[in-house]
């Protein structure tokens, strides 16, 4: 290996050798399915990573383009018989690309500013969302839409209606269990969830309390860092992870609960981000449906008539390997029929902010998903990640589907009320 190559890629070189290039990942890769290009497949990208680490090819535009064209869905990890840790390889490669200065221009500056100074700062994010809510209430966003550049029009189409201020209030720091106490858990509020999906967070707390858990929401917690890691901002991701490590270690809980698949996957990999520090807390991370399914203490009292398609968030199915628990919980609701569709485990194209940075590929990936959901024609589409919820809702509206897009915990909350 060349000593001139980035330290990140020299370090990941041994892990690239786990790939035996069998090709079993190809059919699960969204970008390969769309392009048919070997370089746009997981094994092709691993070849590029290894080539740079060995000094055989430069860390240049081709490597950067393919590293960021990847959605990071990690479906290849589920398909891989050799256990290649592709997600970690991708993060390290993107970090090397960021350090090399290959990504420049206004779009990169805006992304970096948002990730470093807006997303992790709750007050700034709340102010920005409030401003957007005001624009929506006055229909200024609709009036300005024809004048906006294409990229900003696409961003507006993806944006859900900003909830009322009451839904965006901080959750109580402690919500006691109802009935027999089964344990004490902490909830990761997240950064986007409180502002755009506060009702989902509130439903999560209510259901956990009904299941017999004291629910703690530590005030010191913050952004999990997942978006930063996906963008190659590993040092910032580690700083955010270390803050949460301190916040939740002090809580002394039985489990750390998430209702956002991307956040949950990030928490489970704290040991990877913070070796020797994050392993204990990572072992406590649980998705809300995973925890409720294992607890088995929910009484579904209310009927919900209709049909629901469950769509797997990539970082829940492939990052956390949780697929059956949400389906079992939904199927247990009286009157609700869980119906399958043909493409539940593939990426919807949201992938953090991918639908903003690569809108054409994102739309192509989403189209396959919508074809499958349209054929099933459910009353509800359920998925457990904010990016997926926004992407699916925008796609369903554009396609004219009648289904309402919800988080599984919203239906579970109704059924257990």
Catalogue all structural domains in the chain, each as residue range(s) with its CATH number: 7-100 (1.10.1060.10), 106-163 (no CATH), 166-294 (3.40.50), 299-416 (3.40.50)
- Confidence (pLDDT) at 3: 46
Q: How many Cα atoms sit within 13 Å of 328 on the Cβ side?
A: 14
Give the separation between CA 118 and CA 1, rounded to whole angstroms. 39
Give the separation between CA 53 and CA 8, rounded to whole angstroms. 9
Specify the DSSP element, H or E, that contains 11: helix 7-16
**Does residue 4 carry a pLDDT above 70?**
no
- Confidence (pLDDT) at 78: 95
User: What is the tens place of the pLDDT at every residue in 180-192?
Assistant: 999 999 999 999 9
- Confidence (pLDDT) at 1: 44
DSSP symbols for 70-113: S----HHHHH-SS---HHHHHHHHHHHHHHHT---SHHHHHHHH
User: What is the tens place of the pLDDT at every residue in 219-232?
Assistant: 999 999 999 998 88
Strands 174-175 and 213-216: antiparallel
| Selection from 260, 219, 216, 259 nearest residue 243 by Cα | 219
Confidence of residue 375 (pLDDT cuts 50, 70, 90): very high
DSSP symbols for 119-132: TT-HHHHHHHHHHH
**Does residue 18 carry a pLDDT above 60?**
yes
Give the separation between CA 42 and CA 24, rounded to whole angstroms. 10
User: What is the tens place of the pLDDT at every residue in 97-146?
Assistant: 998 888 888 778 878 888 999 999 999 999 999 998 998 898 887 887 77
Mean pLDDT of 84-88: 94
User: What is the tens place of the pLDDT at every residue in 300-357?
Assistant: 999 999 999 999 999 999 999 999 999 999 999 999 999 999 989 999 999 988 888 8
DSSP letter (8 states) at residue 245: H
On whether the pTM is more than 0.95, the answer is no
Residue linked to tokens 């740079």: 52
User: What is the tens place of the pLDDT at every residue in 28-81?
Assistant: 999 999 999 999 999 999 999 999 988 899 999 999 999 999 999 999 999 999
CA 336 to chain centre: 26
Query: Hey, what are 171's tokens?
Result: 């959750």
| Selection from 417, 373, 413 nearest residue 289 by Cα | 413
Going by C-beta distance under 8 Å and a sequence separation of 6 or more, which residues neighbour residue 353?
A: 111, 227, 231
**Does residue 22 carry a pLDDT above 50?**
yes
User: What is the tens place of the pLDDT at every residue in 278-303?
Assistant: 999 999 999 999 999 999 979 999 99
Give the separation between CA 286 and CA 338, rounded to whole angstroms. 23
More confident position, 151 or 367: 367
Query: Hey, what are 338's tokens?
Result: 């869980």
């Amino acid at each position: 290996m060349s000593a001139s190559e980035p330290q990140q890629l020299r370090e990941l070189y041994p892990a690239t050798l786990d790939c035996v290039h069998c090709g079993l990942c190809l059919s699960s890769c969204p970008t390969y399915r769309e392009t048919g290009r070997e370089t746009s497949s997981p094994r092709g990208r691993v070849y590029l990573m290894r080539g740079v680490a060995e000094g055989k090819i430069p860390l240049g535009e081709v490597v950067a383009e393919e590293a960021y064209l990847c959605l990071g869905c990690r479906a290849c990890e589920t398909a891989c018989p050799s256990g290649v840790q592709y997600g970690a390889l991708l993060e390290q490669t993107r970090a090397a690309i960021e350090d090399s200065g290959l990504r420049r221009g206004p779009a990169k500056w805006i992304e970096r500013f948002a990730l470093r100074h807006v997303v992790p700062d709750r007050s700034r994010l709340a102010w920005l969302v409030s401003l957007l809510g005001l624009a929506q209430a006055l229909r200024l966003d609709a009036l300005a839409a024809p004048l906006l550049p294409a990229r900003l029009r696409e961003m507006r189409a993806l944006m859900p209606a900003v909830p009322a201020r009451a839904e965006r209030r901080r959750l109580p720091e402690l919500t006691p269990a109802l009935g027999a106490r089964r344990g004490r858990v902490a909830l990761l509020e997240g950064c986007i969830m409180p502002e755009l999906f506060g009702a989902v967070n509130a439903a999560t707390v209510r259901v956990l309390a009904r299941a017999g858990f004291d629910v703690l929401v530590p005030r010191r917690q913050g952004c999990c860092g997942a978006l930063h890691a996906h963008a190659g901002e590993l040092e910032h991701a580690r700083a955010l992870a270390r803050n949460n490590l301190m916040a939740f270690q002090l809580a002394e809980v039985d489990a750390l609960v998430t209702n956002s698949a991307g956040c949950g996957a990030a928490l489970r990999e704290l040991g990877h981000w913070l070796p020797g520090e994050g392993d204990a807390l990572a072992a406590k991370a649980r998705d809300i449906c995973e925890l409720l399914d294992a607890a088995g203490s929910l009484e579904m009292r209310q009927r919900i008539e209709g049909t629901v398609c469950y769509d797997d968030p990539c970082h829940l199915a492939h990052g956390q390997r949780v697929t059956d628990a949400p389906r079992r919980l939904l199927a247990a609701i009286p009157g609700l029929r869980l119906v399958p569709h043909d493409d539940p485990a593939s990426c919807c194209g949201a992938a953090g902010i991918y639908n903003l940075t690569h809108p054409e590929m994102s739309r192509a990936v989403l189209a396959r998903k919508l074809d499958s959901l349209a054929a099933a024609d459910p009353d509800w589409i359920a998925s457990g990640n904010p990016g997926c919820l926004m992407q699916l809702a925008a796609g369903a509206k554009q396609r004219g589907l009648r289904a309402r897009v919800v988080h599984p915990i919203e239906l579970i909350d109704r059924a257990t009320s």
